[in-house]
Structure 1
Amino acid sequence: MKAVLCHQYGPPESLVVEDISWPSAPKGKLVIEVKACGVNFPDTLIIEGKYQFKPPFPFSPGGEVAGIVREVGEGVSHVKPGDSVFALTGWGGFAEGVVADGYRTFPMPEGMDFQTAASLMYTYGTSYHALKDRANLQPDRGNEPETLLVLGAAGGVGLAAVALGNIMGARVIAAASTDEKLALCREYGASETINYKTEDLRERIKEITGGKGVDVVYDPVGGDLAEPALRSMNWQGRYLVVGFAAGAIPSLPFNLPLLKGCSVVGVFWGAFAERQPKDNFKNVTELLGFWKSGELKPHIQATYPLEKAADALNEMLGRRVMGKVLIVP
């Protein structure tokens, strides 16, 4: 089978496509013939040795796949060869085949296509865990909906947060760097938008909220946006630390949480899925319910073959991706 391989840490251009042997399925695992693999920001980090997990060389990036079960190992009984599934793999998905844990593999619902299935787990899983479990986002607070500010709102997790915030009954403010991105955010449920390249983030938040500030900040960006967003919190707000797409990890003035009675809350969905698999399964089931009802529909910007994986990763690094891009072997 063909696979995109990382033999040493480096930029996307250092990846190579090679023929390797098909894997077998050990106990508790299965082999999936990959039909689509989501491209996510952690993929850009793992190939440079900057992610929390460092698999042994050579490895393929790609932690979110959909495909057909090829082989099941001992102890896997909820799916069988020939079934259509989607799974979290951590890495290995930029290939024609990948090994996945049984407990992190889910049957695809009837009517779902592979590309949609490969677009749900990382972005919507992260954002739903953040908004539901970490922020406890409420559809009302004092007889009005809570206000959710999403930074980097047109990216993968950002657009998922916009859509889910709307589904969960919040008033969603989307902040992004271009008017084109903000137009997409409005399609996915944002009631207000801020272009932080041309507008002052704090002043616009004051204007939109009547000076109250926002109840929840969803921040996958970090960098220079973090402090003005934290200064714009409402009393007892929750600031969700999701990631650092801007590249810089901000240093925040901790007198602000004290003065605002607000919380700075970490969001590490991968660890949540590993440590609390039953809770994660419940979340995935609820997300599938949103999809079945027609409320949730991932935005897929583009697909790439294995040979163009570097292009997909560079689009992610350049923050040009709106919604999702996929590798389709």
Structure 2
Amino acid sequence: MCDCCQTGCCCFECVQTSEVGVVETCGKYDRLASAGPHFLCYPFVAMAGRVSLRVQQLDVGCETKTLDNVFVSVVISVQYSVTEESIYEAFYRLTNPEQQIRSYVYDVVRSTLPLMNLDAAFEAKEEVADSVKKSLSAVMSSYGYEIHQALVTDLSPDVKVKTAMNEINASKRLKEAAFEKAEGEKIILVKSAEAAAESKYLSGVGVARQRKAIVDGLRDSISHFSHQVHGSSPKDVIDLLLLTQYFDMLKDVGNHPNTSTFYLPSKKTKSSAVRDGILQATAGTKIYNQLPVSIAP
């Protein structure tokens, strides 16, 4: 048993896995205690503290403004650990390592974001995170700390600014929607006009073909009749065709159930006065329009 144990009391200390204990003798650094049980002669030999070798995370919240004078709140998560070779520096050189990390994060963020506008700040999260990591690694390595990663986990402007940005985006989307709707209606109108023009064109072509077919049929009929009936002229054939069409018209009119027909003489006889009187009496009235008048030959 050592001399200090003869004058003091023996105490039992346990160091957890992934931790290293710092042992001091009479207030002076003595040794590092690895994981496991350790017997110390208190009060001369004591466990001054423990240093964790695990990777730790520190969330740092910072408020700053951008180039376009918008205040934003930024949260940066710093992941760090103590290296086994630098436990002494990590324990004795810094009183509060977390506060030291916060100070450097504040310095980097407040010197980087004010150079960007709000939109660029959202797009430059990786740039900000890399700047924080490089700055902390250069400084904290001399104190025995290794910076594994720095992450920008949140970047949010004021609520009013968010609302304004959302309204701008919504207005832009509505404008695009209205433009697309108008383009759709334009296409429908153009296609309808093209269809109407094509329909009228085809209708005209049909009428022209119909008339051509009628003319061709009349020509063939006249030619055939003239060859079959000797002594007939084309005028006789045309008169015969007109007479045939006239009687067909009379047949169609007479077969209609709601038709009332007057047969008036067409020659200049005494009955011409009667015909002219009926026409004058019914001119401009609905009766004249509803009762078709057929002039008999």
Instruction: Specify the TM-score bucket, using the shorter chain as the normaliser.
Output: under 0.3
Superposition TM-score, scaled by structure 2 size:
0.20
Q: Does 1 or 2 have the higher relative contact order (CA < 8 Å, sep 6+)?
A: 1
Larger radius of gyration: 2
